[in-house]
Amino acid sequence: MRKYWHVIGIGLQNNLTYRFNYLTRTLFSFIPLFAMLSLWQKIYAGNSSAHGGWTKAEMVFYYLMVAVTDVFTAVNEDDWQIAADIREGAISQFLLKPIDYLTYRLCLFVSGRLAFIMMAGIPLVVFIFCYRSYFMLPASATAALVFPVSMLLTALLQFFISYGMAMLAFWLLEISTFIFILFAFEYIASGHMFPLSLLPPPLFHVIMFTPFPYQLYFPVCVYMGKIAGADLWTGLLMQFAWVLLAYAFARFMWQRGVRKYSAFGG
Rounded to 5°, the CA angle 155-88-154 comes to 5
**Residue 2: how many other CB atoms lie within 10 Å:** 6
User: Length of the chain in residues, anyone?
Assistant: 266
Q: How far apart are CA 173 and CA 163, in angstroms?
A: 16
Helices (H), 97-224: 101-130, 141-166, 176-189, 201-207, 217-224
Report percent pLDDT > 90 for the chain: 38
Q: How far apart are CA 143 and CA 223, in angstroms?
A: 5
State which of 62-76, 182-196, 214-228, 247-261 shows the largest mean pLDDT.
214-228
Average pLDDT on 195-204 reads: 91
From the list 127, 133, 115, the residue with the least C-alpha distance to 68 is 127
SS3 51: strand
Q: How far apart are CA 71 and CA 58, in angstroms?
A: 20
The whole-number pLDDT of residue 124 equals 79
Report residue 51: phi and psi, to 5°: -110, 115
- Are the beta carbons of 197 and 204 closer than 8 angstroms? yes
From the list 79, 88, 74, 67, the residue with the least C-alpha distance to 180 is 79
The whole-number pLDDT of residue 266 equals 44
Q: How far apart are CA 247 and CA 161, in angstroms?
A: 8
The whole-number pLDDT of residue 99 equals 84
Indicate if the pLDDT at residue 190 is higher than 70.
Answer: yes
Q: How far apart are CA 236 and CA 222, in angstroms?
A: 9
Q: Helix %, strand %, coil % for the chain, to 5?
A: 80, 0, 20
Instruction: Give, in order, the Cα–Cα distances in Å from 120 to each of 26, 74, 97, 139, 203.
Output: 6, 13, 35, 26, 35
Q: Which residues of 52-80 are buried (b: 16+ CB within 10 A; e: fewer)?
A: eebebebbbbbbbbbbbbbbbbbbeebbb
Burial of 260 (0-12, 13-18, 19+ CB in 10 A): exposed
Amino acid at 44: Y
pLDDT in tens, 116-166: 888 777 777 888 888 888 888 898 999 999 999 999 999 999 999 999 999
Task: Identify which has the larger pLDDT, 32 or 159.
Answer: 159
